[in-house]
Amino acid sequence: MTHQSELIASDIDAYLAEHEQKELLRFLTCGSVDDGKSTLIGRLFYDAKLIYEDTLKALESDSATHGTTGGGFDPALFTDGLKAEREQGITIDVAYRYFSTAKRKFIIADTPGHEQYTRNMATGASSCDLAIILIDARHGVIEQTKRHSFIVSLLGIKHVLVAVNKMDLRDYSEEVFESICDDYKSFSNRLDIPDLHFIPISALLGDNIVDQSDKMPWYKGSTLMSFLDSVNIGSDRNLVDFRFPVQYVNRPHLDFRGFCGTVASGIVRKGDEIMTLPSRKTSRVKSIVTFDGELEEAFAPQAATITLEDEIDISRGDIIVRPGNVPQSAQKVEAMIVWMDEEPLLPGKQYVFKQTAKNVPGTISTLRYKVDVNTLSSENVPTLQLNEIGRCTISLNEPIAYDAYKRNRTTGSFIVIDRITNVTVGAGMILNRTTSDDHTDHWDDDAVSQTLSAKHSNVSPEERAARYGQQSATVLLTGLTGSGKTTISYALERRLFDTGRAATVLDGQNMRTGISRDLGFSADERSENLRRSAEVAKLINDAGLICVAAFVAPSADVRSKVADVIGRDHFLTVHLAAPIEVCRERDVDGHYPKADSGEMPNFPGVSAPYDVPENPDLVLPTHELSVDQCVDQIIQLLEARGVIR
CB 350 within 8 A of CB 394: no
Q: What is the CATH number of domain 244-321?
A: 2.40.30.10
Measured between alpha carbons, how far is 184 from 167 in angstroms, rounded to an integer? Answer: 16
Question: Residue 458: which residues within 8 A CB-CB, separation 6 or more?
Answer: none
According to the model, what pLDDT value does residue 630 have? Answer: 96
Number of Cβ within a 10 Å radius of residue 274:
20
According to the model, what pLDDT value does residue 265 have? Answer: 92
Angstrom CA distances, 183 to 80, 145, 153, 187, stand at 30, 11, 17, 6
DSSP bridge pairs for 320: 244, 276
Whether pLDDT at 351 is above 70: yes
CB 408 within 8 A of CB 319: no
Angstrom CA distances, 254 to 250, 251, 257, 258, 313, stand at 11, 7, 8, 11, 15
According to the model, what pLDDT value does residue 125 have? Answer: 76
Q: Which of 125-134, 161-170, 373-382, 521-530 has the lowest mean pLDDT?
A: 373-382
Whether pLDDT at 563 is above 50: yes
Angstrom CA distances, 591 to 515, 601, 602, stand at 22, 11, 12
Find the mean pLDDT for residues 357-385.
Answer: 87
Q: pLDDT band for 84, please (50, 70, 90 cuts).
A: very low
Backbone angles phi, psi at 355, to 5 degrees: -120, 125
CB 442 within 8 A of CB 533: no
According to the model, what pLDDT value does residue 2 have? Answer: 47
Find the mean pLDDT for residues 627-633.
Answer: 96
Whether pLDDT at 191 is above 50: yes
Higher pLDDT, 51 or 262: 262
Find the mean pLDDT for residues 132-153.
Answer: 88
According to the model, what pLDDT value does residue 86 have? Answer: 40
Count the residues in the chain.
Answer: 645
Find the mean pLDDT for residues 2-11.
Answer: 58
Q: pLDDT band for 18, please (50, 70, 90 cuts).
A: low
Classified as helix, coil or strand, 31 is strand
Q: Which of 50-59, 60-69, 122-131, 287-296 has the lowest mean pLDDT?
A: 60-69
DSSP bridge pairs for 297: 269
Measured between alpha carbons, how far is 428 from 445 in angstroms, rounded to an integer? Answer: 30
Looking at the chain, the number of H-run helices and the number of E-run strands are 17, 27
In this chain, the answer to whether the domains covering 7-236 and 461-640 adopt an identical fold is: yes
Q: pLDDT band for 115, please (50, 70, 90 cuts).
A: low
Cα-Cα end-to-end distance for the chain: 67
According to the model, what pLDDT value does residue 38 have? Answer: 76
Find the mean pLDDT for residues 344-351.
Answer: 93
Measured between alpha carbons, how far is 351 from 359 in angstroms, rounded to an integer? Answer: 10
Any idea where the domains of the chain sit in the sequence?
Answer: 7-236, 244-321, 329-430, 461-640
Homologous superfamily in CATH for domain 329-430: Translation factors (2.40.30.10)
Measured between alpha carbons, how far is 199 from 183 in angstroms, rounded to an integer? Answer: 15
CB 540 within 8 A of CB 533: no
pLDDT tens figures, 486-499: 999 999 999 999 99
Find the mean pLDDT for residues 303-327.
Answer: 92
CB 429 within 8 A of CB 336: yes
- Own/partner contacts of 88-95, CB < 8 Å, gap of 24 or more, are 89/34, 90/33, 90/34, 90/114, 91/37, 91/38, 92/117, 92/120, 93/120, 94/120, 94/121, 94/123, 94/124, 95/38
- Percent of the chain exceeding pLDDT 90 equals 50
CB 259 within 8 A of CB 320: yes
Q: pLDDT band for 321, please (50, 70, 90 cuts).
A: very high
CB 498 within 8 A of CB 572: no
Homologous superfamily in CATH for domain 461-640: P-loop containing nucleotide triphosphate hydrolases (3.40.50.300)
According to the model, what pLDDT value does residue 4 have? Answer: 53
Measured between alpha carbons, how far is 92 from 103 in angstroms, rounded to an integer? Answer: 31
Find the mean pLDDT for residues 527-556.
Answer: 94
According to the model, what pLDDT value does residue 89 have? Answer: 42
Strand-strand pairing, 618-620 and 571-576: parallel
Q: pLDDT band for 435, please (50, 70, 90 cuts).
A: very low
Helix 143-154 vs helix 118-125: angle between axes, to the nearest 10 degrees?
40
Q: Which of 141-150, 210-219, 397-406, 565-574 has the lowest mean pLDDT?
A: 141-150
The amino acid at 385 = Q
**Sequential DSSP letters for 266-323:** SEEETT-EEEEETT--EEEEEEEEETTEEESEEETT-EEEEEESS-----TT-EEEBT
Whether pLDDT at 245 is above 50: yes
User: Which one, of 575, 585, 553, 587, lies nearest residue 622 by Cα?
Assistant: 575
CB 78 within 8 A of CB 41: yes
According to the model, what pLDDT value does residue 83 have? Answer: 39
Q: What is the CATH number of domain 7-236?
A: 3.40.50.300
User: 422 — alpha (psi -120 to 50), left (phi > 0) or beta?
Assistant: left
In this structure, what DSSP letter does residue 432 have? S
Measured between alpha carbons, how far is 162 from 180 in angstroms, rounded to an integer? Answer: 10
Say if residue 604 is preceded by a cis peptide, omega within 30 of 0. no
Q: What is the mean pLDDT of the chain?
A: 85
Number of Cβ within a 10 Å radius of residue 562:
26
The amino acid at 34 = D
Q: Which of 22-26, 61-65, 162-166, 506-510 has the lowest mean pLDDT?
A: 61-65
Question: Residue 108: which residues within 8 A CB-CB, separation 6 or more?
Answer: 27, 28, 29, 41, 96, 97, 98, 99
Planar angle of CA 524, 529, 531, nearest 5 degrees: 95
